[in-house]
Chains A and B, each alone.
Chain A
């Protein structure tokens, strides 16, 4: 009986917490920013469940399900706990397990709300946005007053480029239930429309609601730090990243972010050590690419090529696992002049699957690097249509203008990008500086 109660309490928490943010909710605004972890909320403290004990909860639920394998409720919770483990460890094996468990719950109870929205957030983590939207809508029909359903719907809409509807969903979510998850989403929306101050204050609220919890604290600190970073506020950004690492030692997204701060300060060796640590733990393509860029900056061409070759391997594995090419892959290929025509068709595919401003921007960049600059400008305009203030997107636009022969417009865009963040990219910030002075 007692165990049942504990699990019931944990149920309330997980339902309200871990699930709330889909893994795809993205911080920062550069197209290649880290896929986002989803924090649990502070409510877990009140119920005595802290994320550090996700492992314990998993073990308890597993034991319970071994004696009663058809307990849909326990299956739901285990599926959500597995997703939280994936966020804590970065190990995607947990996603497959979560999928299996939630599907089983849905077979037992076809109208199960938690399983439906849980599969929705799982789809977001796997970048299957259309599927996530369908699942989120289904969950909303099952329970129109549950806040988390709007989180799933809104995230999917934003990634699909339907910003107005997406922001409306976030609004509804925040009204139904102000929490870490809704604050973080509001911050993201504000950043997208260029309201940086608003974004920072919302993300601070989110960080406050995460206090006392490891992974959510680390996640919100990294997001807040990235907001500072995007405005070139190195010291403030670094403080947030360090806080994240204190809250959650070895947190890979914070290691990656700190590496970029070190690089911006011209300290390439420490930057390499940090990025190495991140990519050794989880070789995400963006970590490996940054590491390669850092080696290149340091003059270690062999090291750079070794990392770039690894990207090719990761891509092969993604394809072998049925993952469609992602925006990050296309962006890497375009940045590094890897088979440019092929990279362009990848970018077209990625943009079709993910017609967000990030998709538009990567497509614009791919077109420009293939010499099709007139077409590129149209996409770049689309990428900037929300009024987002993003140094990398500004830089891309400047490059396109230069390609079209409008040197004063190019200088203007370069200057704007450097004014936002003089260190916006290891590869491209120096190019922008040269463009301004020429």
Chain B
């Protein structure tokens, strides 16, 4: 029993989210960012709203309807071309509630607003009248490539010599470009802006001088960030644990799972990196993420279904036993699930779904490595990062396997144990459906 408690403790610790920190600009700031850009012949605004803990709490008291926010923000963002006011139409949004201080949440809302067509060069004037009088970072940039001082409200400058930006209007001349249209951040990057977790990893590639010691330390750090990344919400930990518990997994299975995750994640980063480099005119990586999300959701659903079906088969098989119709093989302890058969394919599918979504900072490392001509170092860093990811997932798997064994050894009657596989199949199925359902509305056509 004591062992069981310890194991449960381990599982709980693994499942806990990364430690949260307070909003860097104070607990009651309302931070606004607008990027006005022309892509092709159309004007777009990418708007980001970052609420600190107190305004987030107030917003959620009233209920957050992103569409209503989008309409209000579009109305109060005054944009004119050659002196004529233009109408902005909300075209998409992404909403997340990253952890803040004191167990509270912050809120990040990203919007894409559609403006009119721009056929020739025109004078642009922007004035943001959203949240007048509210304290916070206010930033407007014009152009797709213009650098944002706050990295679009993700990393506020910490320097003591930097005042919070207070820019509510801007003017520039714009003309048609071949820039890609703006996208929305998705998944992890939206949930936890870099101010919270793994920006540390992306920084590793930029180290000034590469001595042997620096390289070693960087690798260790990459391993750590990989593990931390895996432990942030939504990396299939539940699915891995449920799968291993349900499928009578062994520590070997857990280790194998880790390997598959590493492999998939590394390949995924390289693949996405190549796509980004070669096809950036045609495909925005941002746009790929929803598809990857959808794909891994469907993968998980299919694993869940497969497990459920094999369960149903096994159940009929057991019933047959009970009626005494089945008289071959009678070894004790023999599992009636052909573990190897469901095992291998399912294991690969679970591993692939866990590693398929490349961590955005891994992608940044790859791209930075190429631009800094440090490709080899970058590749090794990503490998280490993926290995860290795998280690953490293997850890979760191992904890699940061991916990189940301790569970089985304690003197429960076997009913719980017998119900576990079916339960696990359901857990996997539900998780998969949830992933898919979340991914579907984000897949834009």
Contact = CB atoms under 8 A, between A and B. Distances in A.
B335 interface: no
B22 A62 contact: no
A65 interface: yes
Contact of A100 (B25, B53, B160): B160
Interface stretch (A132-140, A309-317, A385-393, A403-411): A309-317
Contact of B160 (A90, A104, A281): A104
Contacts of A317: 22, 27, 53-54, 101-102, 104
Contact of A93 (B58, B103, B164): B164
Interface string B304-329: 00000000000000000000000000
Given A281-B133, A310-B54, A319 B163 contact: no
A309 B163 CA distance: 32
A282 B28 CA distance: 7
Nearest to B58: A310
Interface string A303-326: 000100110011011011100000
B163 A316 contact: no
B54 A313 contact: yes
Given A306-B61, A320-B101, A93 B133 contact: no
A320 B58 CA distance: 18
Contacts of B54: 283, 310, 313-314, 317
B27 to A, nearest CB: 5
B26 to A, nearest CB: 4
Interface in A226-247: none
B161 A59 contact: no
Contacts of A320: 22, 101-103
Contacts of B27: 314, 317, 321
Nearest to B57: A313
A4 interface: no
Q: Which of B29, B134, B135 counts the most A-chain CB atoms under 10 A from its CB?
A: B135
B124 to A, nearest CB: 26
Interface in A263-285: 277, 280-283
Given A66-B161, A313-B54, A280 B135 contact: no
Contact of B53 (A55, A91, A313): A313
B162 interface: yes
A65 to B, nearest CB: 6
Contacts of A85: 163
Contacts of A316: 102-104
Contacts of A250: 133
Contacts of B160: 97, 100-101, 104
A78 B163 CA distance: 11
Contacts of A33: none
Interface residues on B, range: 20 to 34
A5 B57 CA distance: 48
A160 B163 CA distance: 34
- Give the one of B26, B54, B135, B160 with max A CB within 10 A: B160
Main secondary structure of the interface of B (DSSP, over half): loop
A110 B115 CA distance: 57
Chain A, interface SS category: helix
Given A62-B162, A282-B135, A314-B54, A321 B103 contact: no
B28 A309 contact: no
A370 B54 CA distance: 31
A92 interface: yes
A89 interface: yes
A283 B28 contact: yes
Interface of A: 55, 58-59, 62, 65-66, 78, 85, 89-93, 97, 100-101, 104, 250, 277, 280-283, 306, 309-310, 313-314, 316-317, 319-321
Task: Report the 8 A-B pairs with minimum CB-CB distance, sorted nearest first.
Answer: A320-B102, A316-B102, A320-B101, A93-B26, A62-B161, A100-B160, A91-B135, A313-B57
Given A66-B161, A281-B133, 11 more contacts: A89-B135, A91-B164, A277-B133, A280-B133, A309-B61, A310-B54, A313-B54, A316-B104, A317-B104, A321-B27, A321-B101
26 contacts: A55-B163, A62-B162, A62-B163, A89-B135, A91-B29, A91-B135, A91-B164, A92-B26, A93-B29, A97-B160, A100-B160, A104-B160, A250-B133, A280-B133, A281-B134, A282-B135, A283-B28, A283-B54, A309-B61, A310-B54, A310-B61, A313-B104, A314-B54, A317-B27, A320-B22, A321-B101
Interface of B: 22, 25-29, 53-54, 57-58, 61, 101-104, 133-135, 160-164
